[in-house]
Amino acid sequence: MSFSGRNKIFIRVFTVFGTLVLAITLVIALMIIPWQQRSLEQIMYTQAVTVSQSIVQACSDAMISQDFGFIVEHNVEVLEKNAGIHYVMISPLRGERIWIEPKQWKIMDKPDARFAKFETAKNNFHFLDLSESRKVYHFVYPVSFSSIEWGWLHIGFSTDEYDEYLRNMYQQIFIITGISIVLILGVGYFFARWITLPVSTISQLATLVAEGDLSVKSDIKRNDEIGLLSESFNQMVASLRESKTHLQHYSEELEQEVDRRTHELDDLNQSLDQRVRDEVSRRQQQEELLIRQSRLAAMGEMIGAIAHQWRQPLNALGLVLQNMQLTYNQGKLDDVFMSRSMEKSERLITKMSTTIDDFRNFFKPNKEPEQFNLHGAIAAVLELLEATFKNNNIHTELNCDEQFSINGLQGEFSQVMLNLLNNARDTFIERGTSSPLVSINVQPIRVGWYSIKVSDNAGGIATDIMNKIYDPYFTTRSDGKGTGIGLYMSKMIVENTMHGTLTAENDTEGAVFIVEVPKVPGFHVQIERRRTGRT
């Protein structure tokens, strides 16, 4: 398996975590900058109001009496003490305007058009560029005496400190943001590895088991569902190894027994019937072992399917934990948010637990026939294979009335559907089919019978092997990638257990497997007896 294949889950979790952290950090930075600007403007506004009130209070009598000498003297003194003030302008409603700077002053006959438009009934300010190198915070303060409007006071404050503070603020935010991103992404890296590494490891081991390597073992030791999955995986592999060994030994013993019995046939013709029955019994035992091997091989593939099914809730659970950490860092972690996060986590964990339950129920032995719904049984198989089908971009279509039901062993029927769907998947992968599609169509064909057609668009079955596909141990897969007993077991289950038929044909796009089964086992026998009048 390639590096990218081993780390696909990790890359996804880490990418989502890093993107979320980066987005939140940038949003916070973009919120802080305008907030700081407004705070600075409020400080400058408060300072301007204070200075304006001080000037008006000190010069009120001089303004009313138009004592220009006192007004100039006092404001020059104010400018000398406050290096951050560039100018002061007294603008009465009637009369001449006075322009005062630290080293000069003058009387203006006409109002300056740049400032006259700011003279309103309320305090206001504006950032003005008086020249290329001179930018001021221009504050306009309306002057009134005894509720009678007298005029306005214009003050130009330097913006050097304001600009310097903004530059420092941008620099600090950039540094803090960079450090935060590095630290949080570091934590995210280790968190993503902690979550995804065990799942990826078990998925790789399951793939090796599906390919026939029974020497693998999971070394993951954890007190959670992943640890339980690791133990179950090791038990499954051990059981597969034991079954394979027993099957090999039994096959060797059976061959020896057949040879011995063949040589004894000439001398034991009188006990031929009994010996035939013994041989049939032994063959039945062998078939039972084949069924068990087929189920255990299917379990190996289902472990991989479970790993795929768990990826989405694990990603979602990681996002919930990240959101909780971020909320805690911001000091906003309250009972409501914590309760909501716990509820979401419990739902995700319940979904993962349900996947395990579905897996166990699927392989639960059931030897008593029962009424079961065809749509529900097929949908359950598709749900178990959903993740691995999505991983290979395989689409499925199920056309089945939800009222269709038959009487039989649902577990055996599900095994047949699982074998047919897995064969289609393997064929798609082997041939690299573009836009792979599996269609399942269920229809009543005659009284008391249903037809289940499983068709694909993988190109069909070669004509020279069409008559061999049901032979035991016949497979077109490369060594180690197929047991050759899937279709053999499916045909045996359909014909011997469900009293139906399993056939295969090719259409214009691919292979079509047709399963025909009665609603009730033996239904065809009952119909035949009624037709002929026999009892």
Does 388 or 302 have the greater pLDDT score?
388
With a cut of 70, say whether residue 316 has pLDDT above it. Answer: no
Q: What is the DSSP string of 396-464?
A: EEEE--TT-EEEE-HHHHHHHHHHHHHHHHHHHHHHT-SS-EEEEEEEEEETTEEEEEEEE-S----GG
User: Across residues 249-267, what is the average pLDDT?
Assistant: 79
Residue 197, pLDDT score = 73
Q: Which CA distances in Å does 83 have to 77, 78, 101, 126, 306?
A: 11, 9, 11, 19, 74
Write out the two tokens for 174: 């950039």
Q: Which long-range contacts (CB under 8 A, 24 or more apart) does 287-293 make?
A: 287/492, 289/243, 289/246, 289/247, 289/250, 290/247, 290/472, 290/485, 290/488, 290/489, 291/489, 292/243, 293/243, 293/244, 293/247, 293/483, 293/485
CATH number for 15-166: choose from 3.40.50.300, 3.10.20.30, 3.30.750.24, 3.30.450.20. Answer: 3.30.450.20
User: Across residues 359-376, what is the average pLDDT?
Assistant: 72
Tokens 């079954």 correspond to what residue? 243
Residue 483, pLDDT score = 55
With a cut of 80, say whether residue 119 has pLDDT above it. Answer: yes
Which range is least confidently modeled, 26-30, 56-60, 237-241?
Answer: 26-30
User: Across residues 84-91, what is the average pLDDT?
Assistant: 88
Q: Tens digits of per-residue pLDDT, 171-210?
A: 887 887 788 778 777 777 776 677 677 777 777 788 888 8
Distance CA 96, CA 98 (A): 7
Which range is least confidently modeled, 55-64, 294-303, 430-439, 523-532?
Answer: 523-532
With a cut of 80, say whether residue 88 has pLDDT above it. Answer: yes
Residues 6+ apart with CB under 8 A from 284: none
Q: Which CA distances in Å does 452 have to 416, 441, 493?
A: 11, 6, 15
With a cut of 80, say whether residue 44 has pLDDT above it. Answer: yes
User: Across residues 26-37, what is the average pLDDT?
Assistant: 77
Residue 503, pLDDT score = 93
Closest C-alpha among 32, 43, 30 to residue 137? 43
Angle at 117 between CA 112 and CA 123, to 5 degrees: 110
Which range is least confidently modeled, 227-236, 346-355, 389-398?
Answer: 346-355
Distance CA 525, CA 529 (A): 6
With a cut of 50, say whether residue 495 has pLDDT above it. Answer: yes
Write out the two tokens for 64: 């009313």
Residue 132, pLDDT score = 67
Q: Tens digits of per-residue pLDDT, 122-146?
A: 888 888 887 766 788 888 999 988 8
CATH architecture entry for 370-532: 2-Layer Sandwich (3.30)
Distance CA 166, CA 135 (A): 15
DSSP H or E run through 508: none
As a residue count, the chain comes to 535
Angle between helices 335-362 and 225-264 (to 10 degrees): 0
Q: Which CA distances in Å does 434 have to 107, 394, 426?
A: 87, 9, 14
- Arithmetic mean of pLDDT over the chain: 78
- DSSP one-letter code for 211: T
Residue 406, pLDDT score = 92
Question: Which range, 8-17, 165-174, 450-459, is most confident?
Answer: 450-459
Residue 443, pLDDT score = 94
User: Side by side, which strands form the sheet with 511-518?
Assistant: 395-399, 437-446, 449-456, 511-518, 501-506
User: Across residues 218-227, what is the average pLDDT?
Assistant: 77
Domain boundaries, the chain: 15-166, 212-362, 370-532
DSSP H or E run through 194: helix 160-210
Which range is least confidently modeled, 109-118, 128-137, 188-197, 358-367?
Answer: 358-367
Confidence label for 535 from pLDDT (cuts 50, 70 and 90): very low
Write out the two tokens for 413: 């029927």
CB 205 within 8 Å of CB 218: yes
Write out the two tokens for 415: 């095994």
Question: Which range, 88-92, 302-306, 422-426, 513-517, is most confident?
Answer: 513-517
User: Across residues 62-75, what is the average pLDDT?
Assistant: 85
Q: Tens digits of per-residue pLDDT, 436-493?
A: 999 999 999 988 899 999 999 999 988 888 888 877 766 766 554 555 567 887 888 8
Sign of CA dihedral 460, 462, 466, 468: negative
